[in-house]
Each structure stands twice: as structure tokens, then as C-alpha cells.
Structure 1
Amino acid sequence: MAKKPTNKTQSESKAKGNNTKKSSSSGNIGKLLFVFAILGGLLAFYVYKLVTTPPETPKYDLEQWWGPYPKDQTIDVSIRPFKIEFSDVIVNDLRERLMHRRPFVEPLEDAGFTYGFNSKFLGQVLHYWQNKYNFKDRENFFNKFDQYITNIQGLDIHYLHVKPKVSDSVEVVPLLMLHGWPGSVREFYELIPKLITPQSGHNFVFEIIAPSLPGFGYSQGPARKEFGPLETAVVMSNLMKRIGHKHYYIQGGDAGHTVGSTIATLFPEQVLGFHTNLPINTGRVATALLFVGSLWPSTIVENRLQSRMYPLSEHIPKLLEETGYLHIQATKPDTIGIALTDSPAGLAAYILEKFSSWTNLAFKNATDGRLLEKYQLTHLLDNVMLYWASNSITTSVRIYAEAFSKRTMAMRLDDIPTEVPTWGIKFKHELMFYSDCLLKLKYKNYLHSTMVEEGGHFAAFEMPHVMAKDIFEAVKTFREFHNSQKTSPLEARGQTVKETQTKTIYDFTVKDLNGKQIKLEKYKGHVVLIVNVASQCGLTDTNYKELNILYEKYAERGLRILAFPCNQFGGQEPGSPEEIFQFTKDRGVKFDIFEKVNVNGENTHPLWNFLKTSQAGFITDFIKWNFSKFLVDRNGVPVERFAPTVSPLELEEYLDKYL
């Protein structure tokens, strides 16, 4: 007969059951936490990659037509001399409008410029413009520099072209100078003479090309939408080609910075160096770090400069207060354009108010905005006259609608790095300040920042002597940079005499991803395309896809593609050989992948030294970025070199030539 369990035994059994349930429940929670940790890690990695992976370089059309339709089939593309004219019709109409303007509303007591342009002071400005501004004298002043107009992509583009008169011992280098809004080429008139005059310690001077941006002054505005910074950059690049300059330096501020930066991004092979007086980077990573820095400023900016960036609680409200115009111009440019086109008083107030507060925010507390403390009234009105006489205020403000459109913002131009050597000058009262570490995310060869303890947004106009000195120093440094990057004699790199006498790629041995030695003589009789590749570059997807297409199309005719991973450009090939192999396998790569190498610097692989010296690059022969391409003929001789921005499918005409 079975024994009936005691109460003690029942209690122990029940407790054991409860403990088993608790243990099982804890185990399930642990598993869930582990799964969530894995998912969180994957999500964080995805977000990191999404933020840090540069976008592909946007597509652009070098010949896109921006003029009115129907398109004239006999467009005059000659370079035509031009002179600015303030005709009697323009002057008389302006004076009539100024004479018959309505009385202004009185400003608030002690408001200064805090509510905008002070109407009492505006009366003095307009009286001077109407009665004392010497239109004929200023017309002659504007025409003291040679000016031209030429049609680029359907738009008549106006530009100053000033050539220095120097001895043959002084080198002349081209400088493209780009203004912003509400400025114009007038900002450069005091600066130009300093740039075309030899300076102590420098064996070069500048040939100045200073265009009015499309839609500004006497440069025609586009007839259609979607003419943003990228399209402006293409027009400026084509202008320099039209003039005859394949390589040049750029200086820009405000919109001129944006356009100059875009040229350096799209056409790095053309730009010898980029000097900016508005060094900013609005890319995703830079913006994120800017806000992170508000918690730990010392991680982003030097202690002595922290007040220029932080606290954000002080800087952001000031920036918002000064950018109300931007929202109007980015959304309804034609509305404000109509108002300012019809009223010279309104135009003067709208433009000159910026020359007060953007020179120094403290100036807006004064009744006269302290405008005449930094500028002459005649000079300020010169700038306004360019807008009035050319009737260009509407077309000029449209640049904001295009720059801040969804289309342009999606290009993420500030997230695409450039190797062009860059130099910034930072004035104390500029509206925005970015530390060098943020700038280097965009400008991989950001060489220097000049700190100026005064000055504001219109630096070329306000402090031409400081700007001239800094531009000379920047270009001197750019030239030294290029010289340092030039391939020195092969012997200086420890290579043997035999290597200096190499004639073909067949003399070299490389390693594949498994570390196996491969003699390139195995490719004898083939046309070979050699490329430095990376897995995390903005150019990666397009290049791998098109290289595959080329290989599949031309392999039977004798094409071989040799890809060499390289981690020297933005750290975009960090993986191990196994990871690189898996990456290429996932993309169905059929051509040959080799061991990771250096293509620049002291440890450059001998093959790449040979390629660079056989087919020199733009100015210097160093490799500028991922996906530089060398085409080698059937005899093993490098015959063509292509920039990273040249897509593989664009090489088909060359392949047809050599295959």
C-alpha cells in the first residue's frame, strides 16, 4: 500500500516546481535580451554605415542646355568684349523712382538695425544715391578691368579677366574667383590689384577670372528649374575650358564657396587648390559631430576657439535670426524678387542690411548699422547698382530655391570627399564656424586654417589686404603640396636599377588574396585594365557593376581586369582578405582580385610606381582616389590613365581601340 505524501514532501515538490518555472522564465528573458542586443547591434551598424558611407557622385551633363527654347542652332560661342553701361534711361528711371518714393514709417525708438534697415538712415542713403552718386564715374570704375561675355550651355556668362603685367621670371597662375549673394564681382575690385602684383616671398602672381554667377549681374539666368550648385559648377568648369585653362585654383565665399567646393568635388583633376573664406561642412557626419560636441566641446574644437562654436544655445538663435531671408528665397524667390525689382529703395535696404549685420552682429544696435565704419557708401551702392542696372535680383535669389531643393539636398555634396588641397580663412564675425576636424571629413587634404580676430562675411570687400596675403600663402602651400606628392626618382624609393628600367607590367610579381605570388607575365597578349578598389566608397557600386559588365562583354576578346584593394582613401577598404573576398563574391565579381596594396607614399607597391610614372596624372602622378584606372596594351605597356570619376563603361571606345 502506497504511502500518502506528507505536507512537507508536497511543499518541497511545489517549491521545486516553482524554481524550475523561474529558471525557465529567466532563461527565456536572457535569450530575448540576447536577441535584442544582436538586433540593436545590427541596427546601429546599419545606421552607422548609412551615415558614414559617402553617396555616389551625382550624374551631370556637360552640355545640358539652360537657355530658352527653341534652341538656336547657330549659337555664338565666341568670347566677346563687354563694358558695363549705366545708360541715361536706367539712371533717369532710377532717380525718378527715388524722388517719388513714399514716406517711410518711422523706426522704433532705439531700434537701430534690430528690426531691419533703419528707415531714417535709409533716407540718407537714398538721397546720396539720387544726388551724389556719380553714375558716369562709377561706370568708368567698373570698366577699368577687362570684361567679356561668352555663351555657355545656352547662357551668356559675364566675367572679369585680368592678366598681370610681369616679367618672364614671374610665373602667372589662373585663379577662378567666385562671389556670393548679396555680393557680386564688385567685391573683388580692391582685391584684384593686390593679386596681380608680385608679393615678397612669392615667385608667382595671379591671372584673375571672376565671373558673375549665372543669374547674377550681367550673367544670364537659366530658363528652367533645377539649376543648382552642381549645374553652376559645370557651367563654371566649362567657362574655364572655354578660356583655355584646364587646371586652376579657386577662391570662393558664401555661394562662391558652395560652387567652388562642388567644382573641387566633381572635377578634382582640374582644381589645383581651393581657398575658401566660408569653410563649412554640412555633411551628415559633420552635423552629427557638431551636436555631439555640444556635450564635449574639447573633442571637436580647440579650447581657445570653443566660443566660436559653442554653446549651441547661443549660436543657433543668432543664426536663425540672420537667416530669415534664406527661408523666403528658398521657398518663394520670385515674390521677393518682384518687390525688389520694382523698388530701388527696397533693393538697397534689403541688400545693405546684410552688409551691416553680417560684417558684425553687434553693428545692428546702431542707427546707421555702422555701415560706413567698414565701407564707403559709394562702394556699397556700386554693388546695389549691379543688381539694379542688370535687373537680376530675382534670378539671383532663385539660387537658394535650387540649393535647398529636395533634389539638391539628396545629392549630399558635402558628404562626398575630395582630395583637392584646401585652405580656409576664418574671420571672427563670420556667421558660421566649423572646426578643422569637421572640415577634414569633406576635404581630405585640408591643409590649414588662418584665424583672423576681426572681419566678417564680406571679407574680400572689407579686408582685401588680409585676403590677398592669405590667398598667396594658400597657393604657395598648394604648390608645395603638389611638389611633395610628385613621384621622386625611383632610386630614392629604394628600388633597384632594374626596376627603373622596367618597360612593361610583365616584370612585376603581385600577390593574390590568398598571398600567392602571381607573375604578371601570365597576362601576356591580353589588354589589361588595372584598378585600385575599395568596398565602402561612394563609387563602389557603380564601378564594380560596370567593371563586371566590361569583363563579361570583352573577356573573350582578350580583356583582363586586375583589381587591387587599397585602404589609403578615407579608410574605405578596412577589411581582411577574407572579408574582401566575400564582398566581391557577393557581387558576382569574375575578374581578378589581388592583395591589398598602397598606391601612394613610401610603401607604394612597385607596380603602382611603374603605372604612375608611365602614365602621369594631372599635375602630380599620385593616385587621387579609389577607382583610378590604367589601361595596358597587349605588349604590357600602360597606354591610358583615367580618373576615379570616369565610369568603366566610358572606356569602351578605348577598349575597341586596343583589343
Structure 2
Amino acid sequence: MGEIRPFELDIPEDELVRLADRLDRTRWPEQEPVADWSQGTRLAALKELVAYWRIEYDWRRCEAKLNAIGQHVTEIDGLDIHFLHKRSSRPDALPLVITHGWPGSVVEFLGIIDELAEPSDSEALAFHVVAPSLPGYGFSQKPSSTGWGVERIARAWAELMQRLGYAQWVAQGGDWGAAVTTAIGQLAPAGCRGIHLNMPIGRPGPEDMASKDPKVLKALQALGFYQEWDSGYSKEQSTRPQTIGYALVDSPVGLAAWILEKIHCWTDNDGSPWDALSMDQVLDDIMLYWLPATGASAARLYWESFAKFGAGTVAIPSGVSAFPKEILPAPRAWVERTLTNLVYWNDLDKGGHFAAWEQPELFVGELRACFARMA
């Protein structure tokens, strides 16, 4: 109990052979009768990705990168939590817990961890980086009972930072990571000096319905689009996660289609998902769902917490980086209803929902600028 155990990935080769066999035996549907992504993942895009997955993709590259950063597991509240941990060599480094969302994973952070821990500029703020996998995601244990919502995860992350010996620390997140990080802010555990979100959480009030402010109008339009056209995945996962889970755990192509749609829709791209992320990056992420078979367990977080996403207020110091292609942009006035001690806000000119993944240099700069105000 409380032990930090080393964790090293070494997926058996026969698992990769079985995956290749499944990809070879895919039964494809007919092509969509539209010339865009309005009915979901396009057949041509998915076939292109699957062909690359089958022939050129190298899982061992990703496996080696994760092992090189440093992986660990520790039991918290009865559940084994997997996390990446890279300590900086700098004695003044600030401990940081950074949380991914869905359909992401800790691979979103592979492009930022080294720079955060060992800045190329010796004068820049450095961090001890802790990147846990959410319960039921990646190589964290799958909860066998209900109750693992964002509040419980927030308490677990506070325990993790204490267990690692970090008396003073900060927290960051986007997507579900934003919900968990907001919950950390509400909990205000001893030692947490502040939080940063790259998906600002805010809701409109009655007064916003008649607003002429362009930012408010943009946010209301995005909210309407999300509810009508983009939220089917969340409705299914928040009401019947087990049902969709069978397909996501059994079919690698079904899983890839489920995830690729969101990569396309939620990144800052010019029409193709590969404008924002490479096939290797996307497949690294998909593999962190496929190999541990987490399609169902990851979806259950929606069942646990989607209705409470972003509820409550945060009084500790908070910061926001607003990326232009965020799926639910929230004007600062909305966010300040939740983050009542907002000490940092910046509107970026490029980047989408997966900010650290898409724009690693910008993202690292945002964390330094924000947390410098809390260090």
C-alpha cells in the first residue's frame, strides 16, 4: 500500500500479430454518400490510416519512448494508477500534474515532457512532470465498481503528488483533464498552488442569450453545433457505455473510426486530420486504448461524471489558455463564474482541442507564463 512500483512496457509480439490479423480481416462498410465528414469518419481516411497501421506503424518506437520517460504504478484508493514521471535536474523545478482526456492519453504529452523538465532555455521555468492515466484509461487499472468520477480522481491525484514527495505543486488539464483539474481546484488540497486549463469551462447565463458580443455569439453557436451534431459519442458513452464498449474493445478498426472522427473534428486543421497530427501520433494514442482493451472502461467516465462537468467554483489561483479551435469556446466572462481567482488568460491564434499534442511549443510557453504567476 502506497508503494511506487516501476512499470515497463513490453507488449508480447503475439499480441501485435493478432492485431495485424484482425486488421487484415476487416469487413468494411460501403462508402458514405456524402462528400465530407458530416456522417462521420470517411471511409477513404480510415482505410489510409489502417493501411499505414498494418504495414508501416511501429509500436516499439512508442513503447520505447514511454519507457525512456519513466513509467510507474501505485495503488490509490484500491486502484492501480499508471503514470509517467520525469523529474527535472533543476532544484527550482515546480512539480506539475498534467491530465489527459478522451479520446486522448498520456501520449498527448510526449512532445512536451522533456522540454518542461529540462528547458532548452536555462532561464525558463522547469517542472517535475507527473502525467497519470485516468482510471480505466491506458495502463491504469479499470474500476470494477461505480464511483470513480472526477472528484474521486482529483483526490487521488492529490494523494499521488503527496506520495511522490511534492509539498507544493500545480495542476493542468484539458477535456476530462480540465474537469479533473477543476475538481482539484475546488478541493484545494494542501500544497496545490494553482491550476491551468486549456479547455476553459464556462456556461452561458440568461443574459447571454440576447448578447451581441462576437465572442458570446461564437460560443453560443459552437455550443449549439456541439449539442446537435457533435455530441452523439458523449450521449452514448454517458448513458450506455457498456453497449458501445463491446465494439470498441473487439474491433480495432471500429475503435480507430471512433477516435479518428474526433481527431478530425477537434484539431486545428485545413480539412485533413494529418494537417494537425501525424498518423504515428494518432496510432500511438489508439494503441493505448487497443492494447489494454479500455474502450468500455474509458467510456464509463462519461456515465460517472458527464452531467457534472465543470460544476462548482474554484477560488485558488487559476489560468486559462484559449485555443481558437476548441470545441466549446467559453468567453472569459463565462469562465470567471467558475474560476473566481483568474490570474492568467491568453487567447492563442492557432491550435485546437488537443493543445499539447498539436502545438507543443505554444503549450509549453503557456504553462510557463501561467505558472510563473503562481510559483
Asked if residue 292 in structure 1 is aligned to residue 207 in structure 2, the reply is: yes
Task: Tell me by how many angstroms 1:136 deviates.
Answer: 2.3
Q: Is the Cα contact below 8 Å between 2:197 and 2:319 reproduced in 1?
A: yes
What residue in structure 1 maps to residue 47 of structure 2?
A: 123
Q: Is the Cα contact below 8 Å between 1:268 and 1:420 reproduced in 2?
A: no
CA distance in 1, matches of 2:186, 2:221: 33
After superposition, give the CA deviation of every residue in 1:54-90 in whole Å (9 maximum; x if it has no partner): xxxxxxxxxxxxxxxxxxxxxx431111112221121
Q: Is the Cα contact below 8 Å between 2:88 and 2:118 reproduced in 1?
A: yes
Q: Is the Cα contact below 8 Å between 1:173 and 1:206 reproduced in 2?
A: yes
What is the TM-score normalised by the length of structure 1? 0.55
Task: Tell me by how many angstroms 1:273 deviates.
Answer: 1.3
Report the AA paired with residue 349 of structure 1: A
> Of 261, 285, 297, which aligns to 1:383?
285
What residue in structure 2 maps to residue 533 of structure 1?
A: none
**What's the secondary structure of 2:314's corresponding residue?**
coil
Cα distance, 1:449–1:91 mapped onto 2, change above 3 Å? same
Asked if residue 113 in structure 1 is aligned to residue 37 in structure 2, the reply is: yes
**Mind listing any 5+ residue stretches in structure 2 that lack a counterpart?**
none
Task: Tell me by how many angstroms 1:314 deviates.
Answer: 6.3
| % identical aligned pairs | 31
What residue in structure 1 maps to residue 14 of structure 2?
A: 89
Aligned runs of 1:259-270 on 2, under 5 Å? 259-270=180-191
Aligned runs of 1:95-244 on 2, under 5 Å? 95-110=20-35, 112-166=36-90, 168=91, 171-198=92-119, 200=121, 202=123, 204-244=125-165
After superposition, give the CA deviation of every residue in 1:283-341 in whole Å (9 maximum; x if it has no partner): xxxx3x2x42231344xxxx5x34532xx356413443111110000000011111110
CA distance in 2, matches of 1:387, 1:393: 6
Asked if residue 346 in structure 1 is aligned to residue 254 in structure 2, the reply is: yes
Asked if residue 355 in structure 1 is aligned to residue 263 in structure 2, the reply is: yes
Q: Is the Cα contact below 8 Å between 1:202 and 1:476 reproduced in 2?
A: no
CA distance in 2, matches of 1:325, 1:187: 20
Q: Is the Cα contact below 8 Å between 2:211 and 2:217 reproduced in 1?
A: no
Asked if residue 392 in structure 1 is aligned to residue 294 in structure 2, the reply is: yes
CA distance in 2, matches of 1:388, 1:198: 33
Cα distance, 1:353–1:203 mapped onto 2, change above 3 Å? closer
> Of 242, 267, 275, which aligns to 1:334?
242
Larger Rg: 1
CA distance in 2, matches of 1:236, 1:201: 29
Task: Tell me by how many angstroms 1:359 deviates.
Answer: 1.1
CA distance in 1, matches of 2:184, 2:109: 20
After superposition, give the CA deviation of every residue in 1:236-293 in whole Å (9 maximum; x if it has no partner): 11111211123210110000000011011113433111011001134xxxx3x2x422
Task: Tell me by how many angstroms 1:376 deviates.
Answer: 1.0
CA distance in 1, matches of 2:189, 2:316: 6
Aligned runs of 1:407-426 on 2, under 5 Å? 409=308, 414-415=311-312, 417-426=313-322
What residue in structure 2 maps to residue 508 of structure 1?
A: none
**What's the secondary structure of 2:344's corresponding residue?**
strand
CA distance in 2, matches of 1:280, 1:322: 17
**What's the secondary structure of 2:373's corresponding residue?**
helix
**What's the secondary structure of 1:293's corresponding residue?**
helix
Q: Is the Cα contact below 8 Å between 1:249 and 1:273 reproduced in 2?
A: yes
After superposition, give the CA deviation of every residue in 1:496-543 in whole Å (9 maximum; x if it has no partner): xxxxxxxxxxxxxxxxxxxxxxxxxxxxxxxxxxxxxxxxxxxxxxxx
Asked if residue 308 in structure 1 is aligned to residue 229 in structure 2, the reply is: no
After superposition, give the CA deviation of every residue in 1:153-182 in whole Å (9 maximum; x if it has no partner): 11111000001234x5xx111000000000
Aligned runs of 1:559-570 on 2, under 5 Å? none
What is the TM-score normalised by the length of structure 2? 0.94
What residue in structure 1 maps to residue 374 of structure 2?
A: 478
**Mind listing any 5+ residue stretches in structure 1 that lack a counterpart?**
1-75, 480-659
CA distance in 1, matches of 2:212, 2:123: 38
What residue in structure 1 maps to residue 225 of structure 2?
A: 317
CA distance in 2, matches of 1:316, 1:120: 29
Asked if residue 437 in structure 1 is aligned to residue 347 in structure 2, the reply is: no
CA distance in 2, matches of 1:144, 1:338: 33
> How many aligned residue pairs are there?
375
Asked if residue 401 in structure 1 is aligned to residue 316 in structure 2, the reply is: no
After superposition, give the CA deviation of every residue in 1:340-368 in whole Å (9 maximum; x if it has no partner): 100000001101110100114x85xx5xx
Report the AA paired with residue 436 of structure 1: R
CA distance in 1, matches of 2:198, 2:45: 30
What residue in structure 2 maps to residue 271 of structure 1?
A: 192
Report the AA paired with residue 342 of structure 1: D
Report the AA paired with residue 103 of structure 1: W
CA distance in 2, matches of 1:222, 1:478: 34
**What's the secondary structure of 1:383's corresponding residue?**
helix
Cα distance, 1:218–1:105 mapped onto 2, change above 3 Å? same
Task: Tell me by how many angstroms 1:374 deviates.
Answer: 1.2
**What's the secondary structure of 2:372's corresponding residue?**
helix
Q: Is the Cα contact below 8 Å between 2:59 and 2:284 reproduced in 1?
A: no
Cα distance, 1:201–1:306 mapped onto 2, change above 3 Å? farther
**What's the secondary structure of 2:10's corresponding residue?**
coil
Q: Is the Cα contact below 8 Å between 1:107 and 1:120 reproduced in 2?
A: no
CA distance in 2, matches of 1:380, 1:450: 27
> Of 337, 361, 367, which aligns to 1:465?
361
Report the AA paired with residue 332 of structure 2: D
What residue in structure 1 maps to residue 342 of structure 2?
A: 446
CA distance in 2, matches of 1:196, 1:420: 24
After superposition, give the CA deviation of every residue in 1:358-389 in whole Å (9 maximum; x if it has no partner): 114x85xx5xxx01111110111000001111
